[in-house]
Structure 1
Amino acid sequence: MSRRSFLVGSGSAVLAAFLTACGSNDAAKGSAGSAAKGSGKTIYVLTPSEDHGWTGSVATFAKEKIEEVNKAGVYKAELQTADSASKQIQEVEDILAGNTDEIAGIVIQPMDDTVQSAIQSIVDAGIPYVAFDRIIEAVADTAVSNVKGDNEGIGAGSAAYFVENGMKPGDKVYVYQGDTSSVTTLRDSGFGEYLTGKIEFDGKKIADDAKWTEDQVNDAVTKSGAMNWSRSDTKASFESLMGDESNAEIKWFYAEDDELAMGILEALNGGGISDATKDKIFATKPFITGCGGLDEYYEVIRGNSYQDIVKNLGGVMSVTYSPSMIQLAIQDMVDHLDGKEVAQDHVIKCENVTKDNVKDFKSFK
């Protein structure tokens, strides 16, 4: 999963609030796109292929918003998907090779940093663009808006949930990391920075008497290394971890994606861990967190699956990071073309999804 930023799982009232997010982007004012209002020009939306998982679901949500834009009749909107960075670069080149006067703007979720040159060509052509999710820092200041989830907030949300449920300074924590990108770095740092009192979550900082020291974070938090956003890799890693029965005492498992959380649950449900070790694991009543909005994991939180496992846990939770955020990126482009001010640094806040509020959040399959 490209990592991935929106509470995109949140209710309609919260979504509407973010769609009106404001700020200023002086660099974008007076751009070629500002004159496109009512012109019937085309907004091109470029995403990875619509296949499966978080990344694949971006295109699904994009199509919903594109239909809305086309129905309004002010602009045309068109989705183009790619299964590689080279194909996405070719798509940009093909769009720019046509009549640029008919282009209202481009919304793009870059496949990787190699798309930077294509984005620069968009800028050079005088066409406004919105970047989504994977923000390429070298060209970020040329965008109308950079729409992304709060990756630090994901770490902070998981840490806050653990603290609320009794985690004490120095308690052992195991972190299942996504990959080696800045997304994982931010999700790691947010976890530690909340515990040490440097950042807040949901408007609140950790209580002074619950704060951790930097040394406690470094000594007590173990990181898995890159799981490559893979459920099967996480399952195998968890089974290997529990091959040492002393690790059965770990109570706090922070998975940086719902797929990784599902890997832990599958390991606990499978035969790769001895029954004796499982008994020791369940005796601690461990807590598991994820993030993203995967429907299969939300079904666990809703109480509809894996309940033979969940009854032995302290709790399961997910932090919002929905692929539906792409709809906010498209709306930012429409707002810009309509002459409205949009925030260039558009970060979507996170919320914790538990059994008590899961009904209020959208999920993806």
Structure 2
Amino acid sequence: MTNFKKNIIAAVVAGGLSAMFSAPAFAADKNIIVLTSPEDHGWTGSVATFAKEKAKEITSQGKYDVNVITCDNAGYQINQIEDIIAQGDKKLAGIVIQPIDDTVMSGIQQIVNAEIPYVAFDRIIDGVANTAVSNVKGDNEGIGAGAASYFVDNGLKPGDKVYVYEGDTSSVTTLRNRGFVEYLSGKKEFNGKKIADNLKWTDEQLKNITYSGAMNWSRSSTKTSFESLMGEASNADIKWFYAEDDELAMGILEALRGGGIDESTKDKFYSHKPFITGCGGLEEIYSVIRGEDYKDIASKLGGIMSVTYSPSMIQTAEQDMVDYLDGKKVTQDHVIECHNVTKENVKDFKSFN
């Protein structure tokens, strides 16, 4: 049995996903391969940009040679994994992978079978999660809790109408929804605190939360949906809008800037000083929060906020692999804490395009 397999078995026995891993005997090998989505635009595109930045930094230090390979679909990513394994690179130290979707589980299983240590990033596939050196991910439940906390801090009362713009039908949306309602019901904390007892929501009051259904992380779909929502004038009374991504929040803002909503409905909407939250770190949203763009709209809102979920987290995944190979201990279930970005602290956070 190899040292790598021994490490996996020992870690799972010791504590499953929270186990700590130390490096295998072949830690002196040089090559690290990073597999990500294409470097095009938005959150996923920025992952590759940050991955290449970190790869250059690590490579310049001379101990490891890090190469980033982008894959635009799951089938191609699996083919890349198969090619890497087939080449039998004797200097291959490990792989960092951002799975395109859950079908990449078969490729990851091939990595495990080939006894190559790997770090998974962002999309953690449950069926193979306990075989990873580290599973690096943002705190999706924390995103929901952060949005709920922000609303409560700004006057949200139990039973108020809330509208949630959902990302898709994946576990990411499920977790972001769960964090939101669990903060409101007092089951979850954010930034070290829970909701006050007198502000907790009952199960009946939670029914006043309306969910959009899957927007598929699309700005244009959200814009169209919001215009349709405001087509019923009574919906202009809704004050609290939790968008599960900055692209979705931008869809709301674009709808408000455009001509698809009756001006009298807009006036009614603004009269309640509504709040909008997103998440991610998109520069367009940060520029609104900083007061540089959408000034006319932002001035009529109660507030706008974005919870952090930065694509730069891929650099943590790369560092986890290096630390593991250097004999340092890394946490297998590596959840990165999120923060609420508001006009008071936006200068302290790095955005992406």
Structure 2 residue aligned with 1:36: 27
Question: Could you tell me which of 97, 104, 107 is aligned with 2:96?
Answer: 107
Does 2:62 correspond to 1:68? no
Structure 2 residue aligned with 1:19: none
**1: CA distance, partners of 2:86 / 2:64:** 20
Give 5+ residue unaligned stretches, structure 2: 1-16
Deviation at 1:102, TM superposition (A): 1.4
Could you say what secondary structure the match of 2:164 adopts? strand
Question: Could you tell me which of 128, 138, 155 is aligned with 1:149?
Answer: 138
Could you say what secondary structure the match of 2:231 adopts? coil
Does 2:302 correspond to 1:314? yes
Counting only pairs closer than 5 Å after superposition, residues 152-191 of structure 1 correspond to structure 2 as 152-191=141-180
Asked whether the equivalents of residues 23 and 326 of structure 2 are also in contact (C-alpha less than 8 Å), the reply is no
**1: CA distance, partners of 2:72 / 2:117:** 24
Asked whether the equivalents of residues 25 and 144 of structure 1 are also in contact (C-alpha less than 8 Å), the reply is no
Deviation at 1:35, TM superposition (A): 2.2
Question: Could you tell me which of 117, 123, 128 is aligned with 1:134?
Answer: 123
**2: CA distance, partners of 1:287 / 1:115:** 38
Question: Could you tell me which of 290, 293, 315 is aligned with 1:327?
Answer: 315
Question: Could you tell me which of 350, 356, 359 is aligned with 2:338?
Answer: 350
Q: Specify the code of the residue in structure 2 equivalent to 1:112.
A: D
Does 2:226 correspond to 1:235? no
Could you say what secondary structure the match of 2:78 adopts? helix
Question: Could you tell me which of 276, 284, 288 is aligned with 2:272?
Answer: 284
Structure 1 residue aligned with 2:185: 196
The CA deviation string for residues 72-117 of structure 1, in whole angstroms up to 9 with x for no partner, is 1111100000111011001101111112421100000000111111
Question: Could you tell me which of 22, 25, 35 is aligned with 1:46?
Answer: 35
Q: Using CA pairs below 8 Å that are at least 6 residues apart, which structure has the higher relative contact order?
A: 1
The CA deviation string for residues 118-145 of structure 1, in whole angstroms up to 9 with x for no partner, is 1011111111000000000000000000
Q: Percent identity?
A: 70
Tell me the number of residue pairs that the alignment of Structure 1 and Structure 2 aligns. 337
Deviation at 1:214, TM superposition (A): 1.6
Shift >6 Å, 4+ stretches:
none
User: Taking structure 1 as reference, are residues 102 and 25 closer, same or farther at Cα in structure 2, changes over 3 Å only?
Assistant: farther
Deviation at 1:30, TM superposition (A): 5.8
Asked whether the equivalents of residues 165 and 213 of structure 2 are also in contact (C-alpha less than 8 Å), the reply is yes
**1: CA distance, partners of 2:312 / 2:240:** 29
**2: CA distance, partners of 1:103 / 1:109:** 18
Structure 2 residue aligned with 1:98: 87
Does 2:240 correspond to 1:249? no
**1: CA distance, partners of 2:160 / 2:130:** 41
**2: CA distance, partners of 1:29 / 1:189:** 33
Moved more, 94-103 or 339-348: 94-103
Could you say what secondary structure the match of 2:90 adopts? helix
